[in-house]
């Protein structure tokens, strides 16, 4: 499912974020940038340990901020590590909103055209999927008004229930 929003095409797909052929994929990270389980673990398994090593060399970062690394063996060129939670692994609305915006800013700085996001904080962090969808979609729609380079934002949801929730909000 997709929708045009200002300058940025927003789409929601069910699938594996590590398989996306976008310029960048986003990792729902902790502020120390170690990559254990969930999306981070999948990115490290498929892309290689060098992604985590480069990320950790740039941390710790404030929760809500994002840093960029190379993407190792992934199809994407970059991984944007967005600190959605601290060491307590508990996300909140402000962290998700700020991490989404920081990721979009890093994409613009890289002058890339496409980016794929997971649903921030809904796995390990247990944040409600519908609330996450509202926050992240609102941030992308607002950011699209001032985007210069970014043309496509994909939200890649692993399970059908999350996909259905996000599609209903698009």
Average confidence (pLDDT) over 21-46: 95
Domains: count for the chain: 1
How far is residue 38's CA from residue 152's CA, in Å, rounded to a whole number? 24
Q: Write the pLDDT tens digit of every residue in 71-95.
A: 999 999 999 999 999 988 899 999 9
The domain in which residue 87 lies consists of: 2-169
Token pair of 156 as six digits: 């890649």
The model's pLDDT over 108-118, given as tens digits with 9 standing for 90+, comes to 999 999 999 99
Q: For position 68, which CATH number holds?
A: 3.40.220.10
- Describe the chain by its helix, strand, coil percentages, rounded to 5: 40, 25, 40
pLDDT at 7: 82
Q: Which of 16, 63, 20 is nearest to 39 (CA)?
A: 16
pLDDT value at position 170?
Answer: 83
The Cα 91–Cα 44 span in angstroms is: 21
**Helix or strand run (H / E) with residue 81:** strand 78-85
| Neighbour count for residue 77 (Cβ, 10 Å) | 15
Kindly tell me if the per-residue pLDDT of 141 is higher than 60.
yes
Consecutive H or E run containing 155: strand 152-157
| Residue 109, number of CB atoms within 10 A of its CB | 10
Which pLDDT belongs to residue 5?
Answer: 43
Asked if residue 3 has pLDDT above 60, the reply is no
pLDDT value at 17 more than 50:
yes
Which pair of tokens denotes residue 96?
């998700």
């Amino acid at each position: 499912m997709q929708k045009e929003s200002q300058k940025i095409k927003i789409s929601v797909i069910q699938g594996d974020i590590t398989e996306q052929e976008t310029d960048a994929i986003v990792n729902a990270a902790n502020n120390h940038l170690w990559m254990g389980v969930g999306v981070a673990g999948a990115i490290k398994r498929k892309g290689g340990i060098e992604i985590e090593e480069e990320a950790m060399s740039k941390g710790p970062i404030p929760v809500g901020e994002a840093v960029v690394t190379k993407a190792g063996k992934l199809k994407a060129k970059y991984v944007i590590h967005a600190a959605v939670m601290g060491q307590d692994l508990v996300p909140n609305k402000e962290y998700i909103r700020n991490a989404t915006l920081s990721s979009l800013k890093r994409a613009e700085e890289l002058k890339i055209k496409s980016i794929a996001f997971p649903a921030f904080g809904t796995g390990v962090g247990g944040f409600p999927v519908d609330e996450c969808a509202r926050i992240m979609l609102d941030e992308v729609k607002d950011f699209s008004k001032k985007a210069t380079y970014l043309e496509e934002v994909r939200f890649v949801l692993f399970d059908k229930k999350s996909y259905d929730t996000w599609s209903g909000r698009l």
